[in-house]
Every structure is written in C-alpha cells, then in structure tokens.
Chains A and B, each alone.
Chain A
Amino acid sequence: MAIGRRRRLARNGLYVAGLSPAAFLLALFFVGPALWALASSFTNRALVGIDAANPRFVGLDNYARLFGDPDFGRVILNSVIFVIGSAIIGQFVLGLALALLLDHAQRRGFLATNLVYASVLLAWVNPTIIAGFLWVAMFDFYNGSLNTGLHQLGLGPVDWLGKGPMLAVIIANIWRGTAFTMLIFLGALRTIPSDIYEAARVDGANAFRRFWDHTLPILRPIAALTLLSVTMATFGTFILIQTLTNGGPAFQTEVIALYAFHEAFQAHAVGYGSTIAVVMLALNLSFAIVFLRWSRARA
C-alpha cells in the first residue's frame, strides 16, 4: 500500500512536470494580468507623468468614480444593446434559421446548399481586422456598396457610421459571427434521422408539428449554452468596433472593452482603465460560472 502510494506520487510528479510549461504561461498571461489589474485598480497608476513612476494607493476611489461616472452607465447600456442586437437577436436567431434552412435543403438534395454554407463560413474564418476593413468600405457614405445599391433602388444615401453607428456595428458583427451558431445547430440537426420525419409525415403530422415534436427537443438543451457562449464572445468585442467607429460618434458605440482601452491609453489613466477591466472580468466570470454549471448539469 505504502509502496503503491509512493509510486503513484512519483508518477504524478512527472505529470506535474509535464503540466508546468503550460501552467507557467497561463500564470504569466492570464492569472498575472488579472491580479495586476486588481492591484492597479486601487492605485492612481498612469501612463505618463509623476504617477507613472510612483503610483499611489487610492483605496476604492477608482470604484467610487466608476459607479458615479455617467459615461460608464452609457458604456454598459451600449454593451447591452450591442450584445442583444448582434449576439442574441442577430447571430443566434439568424444562425438558428440558417441551420434549419440548410438542414432542410440538404435533406432535399439542393446543390446550392454547399455554396451558402461556405459563404457563411468564409465571413467567420477571416481575421477580424479584415472584417472591419470590409465593412468600412461597405458603409462608406459616398461610394460604399450599400449606399450605391440603395441609390440604384432610388433610395437616399444612409449615413451608416454617422447616424446609425450602433446598427452598423451590429450588422458587421452579425455578418462575422453567425456561422458559429449555425454550425452548432447544424451539428445537432444532423443527428436526427430523416426516417423520423418521414414516419411523422405518414402519421399526418404537419410541418409545425414535426418541428415541435422532433426538432425542438434536440435543439433546446444546447440552445442555452450556445446563447451564453455567443454572449461571452460578443461581450469582449473590440477590434471590429474599433476599426469601424472607434466608439464614436459621440460615444454611441463605446462598449466596455473600448472604454477600458481609451481610459488607459488615451486618457493615460491606467489605474482607472484597470478598474474597468476588473469589472469586465467579474462580469465575464459570472457568465462563465453559469455556463459551466449548465454544461455540467447536462453532462
């Protein structure tokens, strides 16, 4: 028994050694920054000037400032609108609809199915900064493809990035992210054998009935998890919005990640920027814990 335990320890020792390179990197770039942000959020650390060299401990001042900051209220509101518009309504609903459509079309043997599938996927795999660039061009007021197209339909030009910037970034993010939900639901739908639908049809069930009885039960368990992971991914959106609007005009698209960036790097208030980052991490952690609980409950 004693020998067995010693051998087990010895063997685990090797495994712990095997984990160490990864653990070192994770500690340095995940845990380290989180702790650094937490520590800095209690200081007036700055990027330049006297406070850059000798940050002073300021207690909860940054948090008091943050929760009294009307800009921050606006930022949270923007983030919520962005997440609801682009993740929950856009990517989730559109992705689900596309998955149902493509699954149906594939069962029918329509050849164009693969083309549609690939085009949705293409928007998803390209680097974010290219997505930003493409939509800067699409939304261009004078020459953009969208306004030129509208003009040919006899409609006036729309100042996408000036008058409706939130709608514009939401459209761009839907374009970019819909493939993810679509793939998850397509994967689930493929597990339903066609025979079930055939049998239901023979029994006289209409399309709605077949969907309700056979499709929905397959989709429901993964829907919540998908929704939550889409929400988490969207909550952290930065590059796409920065290239399109950089938070503007007039703060209309300033989401939480951009606000932290601007406070730290443009207002040079690293302490305050870290405070925003801490709040963001806390929110994300709470999403993640809910996510893990749900996925464990499923397993």
Chain B
Amino acid sequence: MTALAAGGEQVAARTTAPPAPRRARRAGPIEWLLVHSVFLVVCAFFLIPFLWLLSAAFDERASAYIQWPAAPTIMNFVRIFTEHDFARVLANSVFVAVATMVLVVFAVSLAGYSLSRLDLRHKDWITYAVLLLQTMPISATMVPIYGLARQLGLRNSYLGLILIHAAIELPFLIWLMKGFFDSIPRHLEEAAWLDGRSRVRALFEIVLPLARPGLGIAAGLAFLSAWAEVLMVVILIDQDNLKTVPLAFYEAMRTQGGYTEVQYGVIAAMAVVYLLPVMVVFFGARRLMIRGLMSSTRGL
C-alpha cells in the first residue's frame, strides 16, 4: 500500500496518465552528455543481470560470468523439459495461478461492490481495517500459517495454496475495487431494480460490465502475484508431483551442493520461461499494472 491512499478513485478516474506537457527547450551538448552518461550507469546496473540471464540460458557451459555463448543453443530449454519434468511443474503453476485469479475476481467483485454500497455509519472503519491487513507482511505470518495449515490439513493441497494466494491479494484489491464501484453511479442499478431485475442480476448485468477495467487489473495482479509467490509454496508443498515453478526454482538453487556447483545454464533457462508470462501480462497492460502494483507492493 502506498502514498496513493486515495488511489482507487484515481485509477478509476484515469487509467492512463496524461502525457507530460513537453516543451523542447534544446539542451546544450554538455547537459546531453551528462544526462546520458548517468543513463548509461543506471542502465548497466539494472540491465546487466538480465543480459547475463539471457546469455546463460542459451549457453550449455554457462558460468556466473556474462559472456556471449560460444555456441548458442537451446539445449538448456530442452533439458529442463526432458530431465527436470518442467512441463508438469509449469502446468501446476498455471493451474494454481489461474484458479487463484478466478477466485480473487469472484471475491473482490462481490466484496468491493458491497463495501462500496454498504450503508453504515462507521463504514470507513471497515475500509481502514482492510488497509491495516494489507500492511501485514506474510513473512511474519509464515510460521503461524504453517502451523494452522497443518492443523487444518491444508498442506500439500492446492486448495490450501489457492485460498492463501487469494487471501494475500484480497485486502488491496478489495480496496481498489471499492474505488471503482464508488465511481459508478448508483442510479444505474436502481433503475434496473425498478425494471424488476433482482439485485444480483443488476450487479451482473449493469454494474460489473462497467467495472471491467478494474476487474482486469484485479485479474492481472492476482495472476502475477500467485505466479510469483514463493514463501507459501515453500512452507506448504513438499510433494514432488505438486511442485510449482517457484518451488522447482527454489530447490534447483539450494540442492546443488553449495552455490559453486550450480548449473547456471539450466536454472537460467527455467528463469526465462518463468519470466515470460510476467512480461506478457505486465507489458501487455503496462499502465494498468503499474498503477495497480504501485499500490500493492509488499515485502516478500
């Protein structure tokens, strides 16, 4: 959660930021050089790890050092599917992430709408309680969640994993969706009630279609979060056939006899495959996702 305490409404009001008004006062050569040399340093810091990742993924004899592969090859990608059973791991991850997404969209559209229309004197208390939950780091509740899940029989079950992944994203998304529904005038649904539609039908036929951009953000963020989340997977899943990508990744890094023996090429190939959906979702709807993510950041 963030400085955008009033962000829900902002997102609803304008999903695209207005372009900065530009007036090109020409820059002198010295200023151009200064700015671009800083740019170079910044880009180097942020991009070199990714350049290394790409170089290692396509190099069978990759080391920790960034270098152009002597013989570029896709063998690393072949090996993760033939030797590491990565296809099943991927399918598991897709299942968990998609199921989480569906559950989250269902729960937040109901909860966001209800919270928006609820007519109570101290309604803002509920909103603040939701915001307080949003700031709870899951790394603090990891130990109790493990104990609780063990007692409830939710370990090594996708049900438990999906419920937890959904719960993690709920506080922020409820609050975001409330902002969206607040911006949809009540008289639209009230007119539908007078036409004889039930409250539920009015919600599904009139209100939800208007909230589509918000539901899109909620779905995208829920998918990304479930796809990337690793803590809960590590403490809840230890059966091989239930393994998801983050767990496979976690194990590949830990079990190879210290970091000196790491098969960098293979793990880098896994990382590239793992990153692809993130890139697609994120850069496919960059503006929306940035607005959403900015308000949802939490320590992992």
The answer to whether A154 has its CB under 8 Å from any CB of chain B is no
Whether A29 and B253, one on each chain, are in contact in the complex, defined by CB atoms closer than 8 angstroms, is no
Query: Knowing A19-B111, A235-B137, A261-B143 touch, does A112 contact B39 (C-beta < 8 A)?
Result: yes
The answer to whether B176 has its CB under 8 Å from any CB of chain A is no
Whether B50 and A145, one on each chain, are in contact in the complex, defined by CB atoms closer than 8 angstroms, is no
The answer to whether B114 has its CB under 8 Å from any CB of chain A is yes
Give A57 to B46 CA distance when docked, in angstroms: 51
Query: Knowing A40-B147, A237-B299 touch, does A284 contact B133 (C-beta < 8 A)?
Result: no
* Nearest Cβ on chain B to A18's Cβ, whole angstroms: 3
Whether B64 and A140, one on each chain, are in contact in the complex, defined by CB atoms closer than 8 angstroms, is yes
The answer to whether B53 has its CB under 8 Å from any CB of chain A is yes
Give A243 to B168 CA distance when docked, in angstroms: 22
Choose one: A19, A26, A177; the contact of B171 (CB below 8 Å): A26
Which positions 131-183 of chain B face chain A at CB distance < 8 Å? 131-133, 135-148, 163-164, 166-168, 170-171, 174
The answer to whether A76 has its CB under 8 Å from any CB of chain B is no
Choose one: B63, B167, B271; the contact of A143 (CB below 8 Å): B63
CB neighbours of B137 from chain A (8 A): 232-233, 235-236, 257, 280, 284
CB neighbours of B228 from chain A (8 A): 126-129
The answer to whether B58 has its CB under 8 Å from any CB of chain A is no
Choose one: A106, A274, A289; the contact of B144 (CB below 8 Å): A274
Which positions 166-192 of chain A face chain B at CB distance < 8 Å? 175, 177, 180, 183-184, 187, 190
B27, B66, B139, B163 pick with most chain A CB within 10 angstroms: B139
CB neighbours of B214 from chain A (8 A): none
Q: How many residues of A contact B (CB 8 A)?
A: 111
Give A32 to B264 CA distance when docked, in angstroms: 40
User: Which of the segments A59-67, A116-124, A210-218 contacts the partner chain?
Assistant: A116-124
CB neighbours of B170 from chain A (8 A): 22, 25-26
Choose one: A16, A143, A264; the contact of B143 (CB below 8 Å): A264
A109, A226, A234 pick with most chain B CB within 10 angstroms: A109
CB neighbours of A32 from chain B (8 A): 144, 148
The answer to whether A48 has its CB under 8 Å from any CB of chain B is no
Whether B300 and A134, one on each chain, are in contact in the complex, defined by CB atoms closer than 8 angstroms, is no
CB-CB nearest in chain B for A125: B282
Give A261 to B38 CA distance when docked, in angstroms: 40
Whether B111 and A135, one on each chain, are in contact in the complex, defined by CB atoms closer than 8 angstroms, is no
The answer to whether B216 has its CB under 8 Å from any CB of chain A is no
The answer to whether A30 has its CB under 8 Å from any CB of chain B is yes
**Leading 10 A-B pairs by shortest Cβ distance:** A236-B137, A236-B299, A18-B114, A127-B228, A295-B5, A140-B64, A22-B111, A33-B144, A29-B167, A257-B139
A sample of 30 cross-chain residue pairs with beta-carbon separation below 8 angstroms, ordered by A number, consists of A11-B119, A21-B110, A25-B170, A33-B148, A37-B141, A105-B35, A106-B22, A116-B42, A119-B42, A125-B289, A129-B228, A145-B65, A145-B66, A180-B297, A190-B20, A225-B3, A232-B299, A235-B137, A238-B142, A261-B139, A273-B143, A281-B141, A284-B136, A284-B140, A285-B132, A285-B135, A287-B135, A288-B132, A291-B135, A298-B5
